[in-house]
Amino acid sequence: MKKIIKMDRFEHQSIWYKNLLANPTEIAALFPFNAETGKLMTAHLEGMDEGYILELGSGMGAITECILQRQVPEDKLILLDKNEDFANYLSHKYRNANVFAEDASNAKKLLQAQGICEVRHIVCSLPFVMIKQEKQLSILDNIFKLLHPQGCVSIVTYFVRCPISKKVLGQYNKSSELFGFTMKNIPPAYVYQIKK
């Protein structure tokens, strides 16, 4: 039994590192985010009782686990990552979740084709600082058009500033605030919340 668990962990890590080597700027993290970061990223989900949760850049599910610990039903979870290996891994792990291997800039069209026109909250670990500005704007337009008017986006970054400028947020009548910081992540991580 121990051997199988070890094999699984090895397999899990080899998918992560194989893809990191192939797409370093897209994955943009040596390690998945840790549980402490996940707790900060999912604090806004506490007590929510309806609607979908969209996770952008779900990777191999480090934050997904923390979302599920907030009692979000698996079938209300939308996991989106452009990396096919990651999406494939998550679709096998979370059989009831809605998993898509897609670019976040196609989120609105993709979800609408599934009959999903609105999401309650968003959890985002996309590496915004590595994404070209034009693509960033397209992703933001997609997510703010999908977000419930009272919804909140949590976003993680390794830098002290929110990766989305005040000017861009203002165009959607949103603002950001630093919600938390953890030294326990490698490297340390800042979590911002974006809402009305």
Ligand X SMILES: C[S@@+](CC[C@H](N)C(=O)[O-])C[C@H]1O[C@@H](n2cnc3c(N)ncnc32)[C@H](O)[C@@H]1O
- Least Cβ distance, residue 151 to ligand X (angstroms): 19
- Least Cβ distance, residue 4 to ligand X (angstroms): 23
Long-range pairs for 127-131: beta carbons < 8 A, 24 or more residues apart: 127/25, 127/26, 127/27, 127/28, 127/29, 127/57, 128/155, 128/157, 128/163, 128/164, 129/28, 129/157, 129/159, 129/163, 130/25, 130/26, 130/28
Site string (137-156) toward ligand X, x via CB under 6 A: --------------------
Site string (68-107) toward ligand X, x via CB under 6 A: ------------xxxx--x----------------xx---
Q: How many helices (H) and strands (E) does the chain have?
A: 8, 7
- Residue from the set 26, 36, 85, 118 that interacts with ligand X by CB under 6 A: 26
Q: Which positions touch ligand X (CB under 6 A)?
A: 26-29, 32-33, 57-59, 62-63, 80-83, 86, 103-104, 125-127
